[in-house]
Amino acid sequence: MSKFIFVTGGVMSALGKGIAAASIGRLLESRGYKITLQKFDPYLNVDPGTMSPFQHGEVYVTDDGAETDLDLGHYERFTSTKTTKAHNWTAGKIYESILRKERRGDYLGKTVQIIPHVTQEIKDAFFTVVNKNDIVIVEIGGTVGDIESLPFLEAIRQMKLEFGPDILFVHLTLVPFIKTSGELKTKPTQHSVKELRAIGIQPDILLCRTDRALNQDIKAKISLFTNVPLEAVITAQDVDNIYEIPLLFSQENLDSIILNRLGLPLGTRDLTKWKDMVQKSKSPKDEVDIALVGKYAGLQDSYISLNQALCHGGEAHQLKVNISWIEAEDLEHFSPEKVLDFADGILVPGGFGTRGIEGKIKSITYARMQKVPFFGICLGMQCASIEYARNIANLDKANSTEFTKKTPHKIIFKWRELKGVKDLGGTMRLGQYSCLLKKGSLAEKAYGQLEISERHRHRFEFNPAYEKILSDAGLFISGKNPDHDLVEIIEIEDHPWFLGCQFHPEFKSKPMDPHPLFKAFIGASYDYRNQRDKNK
């Protein structure tokens, strides 16, 4: 049987359970083990697909089209794990499955209860990703003490009862520093572990989130009051670069402790390439300024994969990427020349709804006319198509049917409406689709190949009725999906670097394997910066 590591959190949310779990995965892979990671969220939504980014951060999309928690992005960026629908479960998804079974009569007239039926459904879900993995790392969302998390915590308690030494509990908690007294306080950690033990879970390892190193006296105190061995009380110190965390954990021999507890051979740890990547990111040769014109700029977790992909693109050129978060709605009231004149590159990301659209279009007009490198993703690509139709193809009232039904020029249109299918749900194009690139295009130069596949999350498409009109006006359609003949990539040829793509390339970028489009965009932005400096 595979070994299981369950990662829980206490005291407060947003301590970084996802990054901690991913870092553990990175360490175990460096020892030669085959691992995978899962996330269980206690909320009643079936998935986060309909949740506002302000509520839950970005929605991460897998190859098979699952709309998942943003932590799955961390899993894929830190490890070789390829996540699927089976890697993210919510209370809503669990209950939905149980209620379907109950309606079918699968429980044979039994009273369906939290124990054993809900907990058994949760335990069954743990095993859906086992395959040939040596170790499965499972992150339990929420915090200990939340009423909604109790079924999940009860399920992992039962796992320990049933499988004993094959189960390991890692608990992430907070050790705050109180400035007024000049002391680190262990009481929040003590109470968090007390809550866990009250429901029958004794943590094997504590990851103590703190802004400074924990000395042996503090660790000894935590060990004494939590019944966790001293060597298993690990400092999880704040860092500037999240990719340093596996290295910090390795210094405290976290992977050795885990493997010893699970009765597995230590093997030889090899973090050479990871260390090189982190070191290079710390010593950039220069910097580049990117304006990200978005609808959810007030919460950076809304664009966490995008943020990381831009940094990966910068590291490929040994550049520090300075990201300025520009609220698209504000651009509707200000001149883009005043707001964007600092930018070496402009990126307009995805989103839904009408808010801020005209601000995004103004930023695209500025990028096109001032020859500033531009990258439009999903809605950003659609806005670029609308901008081109209005200002170059002379289709003044061009728009998307997402924003208005009255436009005479429906440049962007719902896919199902294009196909004459009634809108009865399942309207999004989700997951991985292939794309054929035109020779000599910016996209082909970036990828170095003519056929690619990327992940999608959108309802609206470029209207094929306007392909010829906009192409005749100079828009270069450089990528199309061969299965449905849908436009995937647009470019402007008389521009240093102007590209919009219908898919979300940020979901496939990794620190040691930057996505080709982000690498090319940052390279073009740096060239623009250098040219602008020369002309000053």
**Residue 56 a catalytic site member:** no
Range of weakest confidence among 190-199, 264-273, 400-409 = 400-409
Q: What is the pTM of this model?
A: 0.94
85 HSE (CA, 13 A, CB side): 10
**Residue 378 a catalytic site member:** yes
> How far apart are the C-alpha atoms of 444 and 447, rounded to whole Å?
5
Summarised one tens digit per residue, pLDDT across range 353-386 is: 788 899 999 999 999 999 999 999 999 999 999 9
Summarised one tens digit per residue, pLDDT across range 458-507 is: 999 999 999 999 999 999 999 999 999 999 999 999 999 999 999 999 99
Nearest to residue 189, comparing CAs of 181, 177, 200?
Answer: 177
With beta carbons less than 8 A apart as the criterion, state whether 290 and 29 touch.
no
Provide the residue count of the chain: 536
Q: DSSP labels for 393-436?
A: S--TTEEETTT-S--SEEEEEEHHHHTT----S--SEEEEEEEE
User: What 3-state DSSP class applies to 487?
Assistant: strand
Nearest to residue 298, comparing CAs of 321, 325, 323?
Answer: 325
Q: What is the DSSP letter of 297?
A: T
Q: What is the pLDDT of residue 435?
A: 98
Check 74, 121, 208, 378 and give the catalytic one. 378
Place of tokens 């270069």: 476
> How far apart are the C-alpha atoms of 471 and 469, rounded to whole Å?
6
Check 244, 444, 491, 506 and give the catalytic one. 506
With beta carbons less than 8 A apart as the criterion, state whether 297 and 307 touch.
no
Q: DSSP labels for 54-119?
A: HHH-PPEE-TT--EE-THHHHHHHHSS----GGGEEEHHHHHHHHHHHHHHTTTTTPPP-IIIIIH
Q: What is the pLDDT of residue 51?
A: 86
Residue type, 533: D
Q: Which domains does the chain have, with CATH numbers?
A: 3-276 (3.40.50.300), 284-535 (3.40.50.880)
Summarised one tens digit per residue, pLDDT across range 25-78 is: 999 999 999 999 999 999 999 998 888 777 778 999 999 999 999 999 999 999
Summarised one tens digit per residue, pLDDT across range 283-323 is: 999 999 999 998 876 667 788 999 999 999 999 999 999 99
Place of tokens 């459904």: 121
Place of tokens 């085959």: 34
Residue of 337 and 36 predicted with greater confidence: 36
With beta carbons less than 8 A apart as the criterion, state whether 232 and 205 touch.
yes
**Residue 506 a catalytic site member:** yes
